[in-house]
Amino acid sequence: MDYSEQMLFDLRVATKKEARAKRKVKSSRLKNLQEELLAFDAFGKETVTFEIQAQDRVIPTFVNEFWTAGQRQANRLHEISYRACFKPQLPKFFIDRLTSPGDVVYDPFMGRGTTLLEAALLGRVPMGCDVNPLSRMLVGPRLAPPQMDDVAERLETMKISEAKDLREDLLHFYHPKVLSTLTGLRDYFVARRQAGKNDPVDDWIQMVATNRLTGHSPGFFSVYTLPPNQAVSVASQIKINAKRNQSPPERDIRAILLKKSRALMKGLDERIRETLRKVSGDALLLAQSCDETPEIPSDSVSLVVTSPPFLHVVQYETDNWLRCWFNGIDAKAVPMWQLTKVDAWQEAMTRVLVELKRILKPGGHVAFEVGEVNKGKTNLEDHIIPAAFDAGLDVELVLINDQKFTKTANCWGVSNQSKGTNTNRIILLRKS
């Protein structure tokens, strides 16, 4: 064996040793996680454990209050409303325990980007996918926020032409002067994006404006309506206006955008900005179906934290029609999954999990948050576990985070959870 052959041989041996060492670390992480869950008492409650039988396997299940919205103030950048999103404490729990700085963390149903933003704030590389292009527009600007002074200057100097051709149905939401300015702002962003002239400051203001379209306080552009994570239909708004005897008031759009921008950037010091800068350049945001993502290399993702669409519980097209209008998106053309049958949902999730297995590193994990539908009669975890087996993933454990915890735990839940409104149920999967 000559010198070069010896070097190649030594390299192969070293590579195999390194791979074995990484697998050992991953295995010890899981063992340590189970031990931690069993001993967990951060909020003064003991963990309840039981086992469930799935096919021929026994899966340990841990029930406790593992995190709570009040345990720490999440970064203000998270405060962008979106329907059916989980709290930042959920992804943080798994990112802290199952990844290291520089690892890739991915969410195939990224929504408003809670997993991605929390991963970036913790020094992990964020990747996400969502079939709705609106999602990418809400996530990207917060991964690399512009300076507040630049936002203030742009709001002061940007030229917005007041539109004269207005959508009359939107006058049930907006004062005529507000709608004229808002339509002009919409046209400004659409034109800038189509011409390729939009910059990070434009993208930030567009994101904030999207978040301020409708709400139930003077901090929104609209008259009183439903909370900002969804938009009611025009017919429903007419009824709200009549019931409350209200009409849309004038609003100062620039002042609202400035105030919300300052709120989002509160506490955003140079240390946090530097953390975001280090990882945001490698971020990947996809607007497509997540069951086929060739843009993501195989064996590259350390952790997936996600929550899938729950059958027909949330109507994304209906909820986001106004946001899509403002951003120049044809809501009807977005190929959203509208799965109304459990069998079809399980089949779709199996396809997703097959793709997740491809992109996961050996030893990588999927924290898959599921819930109850059909008024508590259907537990989606009963369907995601066989989907995981079919995809070739190991089911390591089930974690149930319950914020009204009692020790009278039933299988797959606790006694006070008739509708699953206070629990997060996470199936932890692993690629061998």
Q: Is residue 3 part of a domain?
A: no
Both tokens assigned to 429: 């999967």
The domain in which residue 211 lies consists of 148-264
Helix, strand or coil for residue 261? helix
280 in the same domain as 255: no
Query: How high is the pLDDT of residue 342?
Result: 84
422 in the same domain as 274: yes
Which of 232, 249, 264 corresponds to the end of one domain?
264
Both tokens assigned to 188: 């400004």
418 in the same domain as 284: yes
Query: How high is the pLDDT of residue 25?
Result: 47
Amino acid letter, residue 127:
M
Helix, strand or coil for residue 339? coil
Q: Is residue 28 part of a domain?
A: yes
Residues 6+ apart with CB under 8 A from 31: none
353, 359, 365, 367 alpha-carbon torsion, rounded to 10°: -50
Own/partner contacts of 164-170, CB < 8 Å, gap of 24 or more, are 167/325, 169/234, 170/234
Query: How high is the pLDDT of residue 231?
Result: 82
Best CA proximity match to 284, nearest among 130, 134, 85: 130
Best CA proximity match to 259, nearest among 152, 372, 404: 152
273 in the same domain as 403: yes
Diameter of the chain measured on Cα atoms: 90
Which of 243, 264, 285 corresponds to the end of one domain?
264
182 in the same domain as 122: no
Q: Is residue 361 part of a domain?
A: yes
275 in the same domain as 260: no
Instruction: Enter the pTM of the model.
Output: 0.87
Q: Is residue 16 part of a domain?
A: no
Best CA proximity match to 429, nearest among 383, 398, 390, 408: 398
161 in the same domain as 120: no
201 in the same domain as 114: no
344 in the same domain as 370: yes
Sheet with 125-129, side-by-side order of all strands: 48-54, 57-64, 394-402, 423-430, 360-370, 301-306, 104-107, 125-129, 284-286
Q: Is residue 6 part of a domain?
A: no
pLDDT along the chain (432 residues), means of 10: 47 48 51 90 90 88 84 81 81 96 97 96 97 93 97 94 88 96 94 92 97 94 84 93 97 97 95 97 96 98 92 65 91 74 90 98 95 63 90 95 56 40 82 95
Query: How high is the pLDDT of residue 233?
Result: 92
Q: Is residue 142 part of a domain?
A: no
Q: How far is 304 from 306, CA to CA, in rounded Å?
A: 6
Q: How many CB atoms lie within 10 A of CB 223?
A: 22
158 in the same domain as 106: no
Count how many domains the chain has.
2
Q: Is residue 320 part of a domain?
A: no
Please spell the DSSP secondary structure of 154-190, one letter per residue.
HHHH---PPPSS--GGGGGTS-HHHHHHHHHHHHHHH
159 in the same domain as 55: no
160 in the same domain as 256: yes
Q: Is residue 323 part of a domain?
A: no
Which of 249, 264, 279 corresponds to the end of one domain?
264
Looking up residue 116, the CATH number of its domain turns out to be 3.40.50.150
